[in-house]
Amino acid sequence: MFNNLEIFRSAGAMARHAAQRQSVVAENIANADTPGYRTKDLTAFEVPADDLRNAMKSTRGTHFDPGSRTTAASIILGDQSGLSPNGNSVSLESEMFKSIEAERQHSRAMTIYKSSLDILRASLGRR
Amino acid sequence: MSDFSNSLQTAVSGMRAQSTRLRHVSENIANTDTPGYRRKIMNFEQVTKDGAKTGEVRSAGISLDRTELTRIFDPAHPMSNEDGYYDGSNVDLVVEIADAREAQRSYEANLKMFEQTRKMSSKLLELLRK
């Protein structure tokens, strides 16, 4: 664990993803009355490939480069059902749900980060 | 952190737009009995900066409701014509109340987003506190 602190990076990526999603949801809610606005969402969170223990290693030049796999979340169009007459597809209920999900993901990431930090501190003999 | 300040800003723009809408609704209600008054409708649009959409929202000006003005029969009124009718406003109080309630709900949704984002960022800052 201490050679390579990948858990911190994973937790950080998770928190960043949650923050990004929250930002997308805020945009949707602000535009809940804008004519022609289409609901947006973010792709699901994935642990960055090089943080995984069993990640592919390239030991020869001809090997597939594992770093080339992108794990950055991208913005996609959300559920487009329930289009209102002015062409707006935002549903406040499902946006609320998405924002709660983002908040829980964020607090989970923060908890993981904090408890890993506590373990690290304990191993240094500090409290 | 920039995502958080982005979402705070977006939520604030939503609240501002909804309160402008509420202002126009109250103008309409205040002018229900003004002869010849046409109901104002607020439009929303997305904010663009340097050609790219920022995700924020703002009011895109107002347009007037084109439905017929109500004709009120009152021969004693100074503006009435020879048949005793004059043009009232085309404000329907029930529609205005519904519009105001919708603005309030959308405002609350934006406010909730604001609170939640603030909660998330304060949790993040708590990590630094120890």
Tell me: the pLDDT tens digits for A79-120? 778 788 888 999 988 999 999 999 999 999 999 999 988 888
Q: Whole-angstrom Cα distance, residue A25 to residue B6?
A: 11
In A, minimum Cα distance to B59 occurs at A34
Contact between chains at A110 and B124 (C-beta distance less than 8 A):
yes
Q: Residues with Cβ < 8 Å from A62, sequence gap 6 or more?
A: none
Tell me: the pLDDT tens digits for B78-98? 888 889 999 999 999 999 999
Checking ipTM against 0.90, whether it exceeds it is: no
Q: Whole-angstrom Cα distance, residue A69 to residue B88?
A: 67
Least confident of A59-63, B69-73, B102-106: A59-63
From chain A, the residues in CB contact with B8 under 8 A are 26
Q: Which of B121, B112, B99 is nearest to B5 (CA)?
A: B121
User: A13 is written with which tokens?
Assistant: 């990526």
Tell me: the pLDDT tens digits for B38-67? 999 999 999 988 888 888 999 988 999 888
Q: Report chain A's mean pLDDT, rounded to a whole number.
A: 82
Cross-strand bridge partners of residue B85: B73
User: B127 is written with which tokens?
Assistant: 């990590």
- Between A30, A33, A99, which is nearest B116 by CB? A99
CA A18 from centroid of its chain's CA atoms: 5
Q: Residues with Cβ < 8 Å from A14, sequence gap 6 or more?
A: A45, A47, A105, A106, A108, A109, A112
Q: Whole-angstrom Cα distance, residue A118 to residue B118?
A: 25
User: A73 is written with which tokens?
Assistant: 């979340």
* Amino acid type, B24: H
Give, for A28, the enclosing helix (H) or strand (E): helix A6-30
Mind telling me how many Å the CA of B93 is from chain A's nearest CA?
21
- pLDDT value for B128: 80
Which string of DSSP letters, residue by residue, matches B40-56?
A: EEEEEEEEEETTEEEEE
pTM: 0.79
Residue A52 has pLDDT above 80, yes or no: no
Which alpha helices (H) appear in chain B, and where do they start and end? Answer: 2-30, 93-129
